[in-house]
Every structure is written in structure tokens, then in C-alpha cells.
Chain A
Amino acid sequence: MFSINYEREISDRIRARVGFGWWTSESFFSDAETSLTTVPVTLAGLLGRGAHRLELGGGLTFGNREEENIPEASGTFLSLTGLVGYRYHRPGPGFLFRAGFTPFYGFGDEDVAYPDKGFFPSLGISFGYAF
């Protein structure tokens, strides 16, 4: 799943981020589609100096799941999400790379909770531009 994200400096070591992600998948065995949209909102602290830094943070991921032909498995969800990762960015405008462990804790109905109800480990990588 992909997300487009905007990040803003709150202080020298704190960054706020909001994103928008979406995905559609189709079953091999039927024409039923699953659509997911997500809105991650996180705060992260940066440790270290220079181009190579450690990023620690967390926040909330809001979203909506649409299961075609399965209305009971469709609806909105809310998950807690965390971040422990590596961040590469030379000071000043330029290329940004991030990679890390991004666990979730999904709340709500078991059929709708994202990624699943309860704790769920996950990984992520990011490419972008800082300015």
C-alpha cells in the first residue's frame, strides 16, 4: 500500500506528518474488490545529527475499508501506529529516505479493524524531497 505524505518541522527535532494512502485489490476467485483508504497523522522525534538520523514517533491512522459484497466488513477504522526508523537527509533541500518498523494496534470491529484487530507488526520505506 502506498501513501503520499507531507511533513512539517515543529521544532528542531520534532516533525509532524499527515498523509493519504489508498489501495484496491481484486480477488482471483471473484470480481469482488477491496478498497482501502488511510490517513496517517504522526509526530516523530529525530535523534542524532547530520545526514543519518534515528526517527522515533507515533500517531493515529484513520481510514475506510470497502469490501464489495461484504457490507459487514466495510466501514471506518482507527489504529494506533508507531515508528522506529532510519532517516537519511543531508541538511538543506534535497533527497529524503526513510525506512523503519511501523507497528499498528487496530481498534474496533474485527472485520473492519486495520490491518487487523490488536497488535500488528509492519515495515515501511519512503522516498521524497525535503525543502
Chain B
Amino acid sequence: MVKLCGRPALTSVVLLFALMVFARTSSAQSTAEDRNAVYLELGGNGGCFRSITSERYQTG
């Protein structure tokens, strides 16, 4: 079993919010639309949920 740390999640949300503010500012100054995106991904290609509960972490 593992105990998860909440700090990365909070940091991710804060960083995403900062990126979105930057994105809105940039898009307001640009004529291009829908060319870029920023997003927060849970699991997916950047990480896997099972990896944090894997047997390899369940040893004391």
C-alpha cells in the first residue's frame, strides 16, 4: 500500500491555472485561434495510475 502525497496535485492545478492565464493573454493578442492548448492530464501518456499501487511499492 502507498500513501499519496497531495502536493503534486495542488502544484499541478496552480501551474495549469497560470498556463491558462498566459494562454488567454496570448490568444487575446493573436489573430490565430485554436492552434495551441494547455491541459492537466490525470493518468494518460504522462503517467499511469497502477504504477503508484504496483506490487513493487508494497514492500516495507
Question: How many Cβ-Cβ contacts under 8 Å join chain A to chain B?
Answer: 193
Cross-chain contact A124 with B45 (CB below 8 angstroms) = yes
Cross-chain contact B47 with A1 (CB below 8 angstroms) = yes
Chain B: number of interface residues, binned into ranges: 35 or more
Nearest opposing residue in chain B for A104, CB measure: B48
Which residues on A sit within 8 Å (CB–CB) of B50? 115, 120, 122
Given A8-B35, A92-B33, A116-B54: A83 and B40 interface contact (C-beta under 8 Å): no
Given A123-B43, A131-B26, A131-B27: A25 and B34 interface contact (C-beta under 8 Å): no
A-B contact pairs, 27 of them (CB 8 A): A2-B40, A2-B41, A6-B37, A7-B37, A8-B36, A19-B41, A21-B47, A23-B5, A25-B5, A26-B2, A26-B3, A27-B3, A27-B58, A28-B1, A28-B60, A30-B60, A36-B51, A73-B56, A96-B39, A111-B56, A114-B51, A123-B44, A124-B46, A128-B39, A130-B36, A131-B27, A131-B34
Interface on B for A, CB 8 Å cutoff? 1-5, 7-9, 12, 15-16, 19-20, 23-24, 26-27, 30, 33-52, 54, 56-60
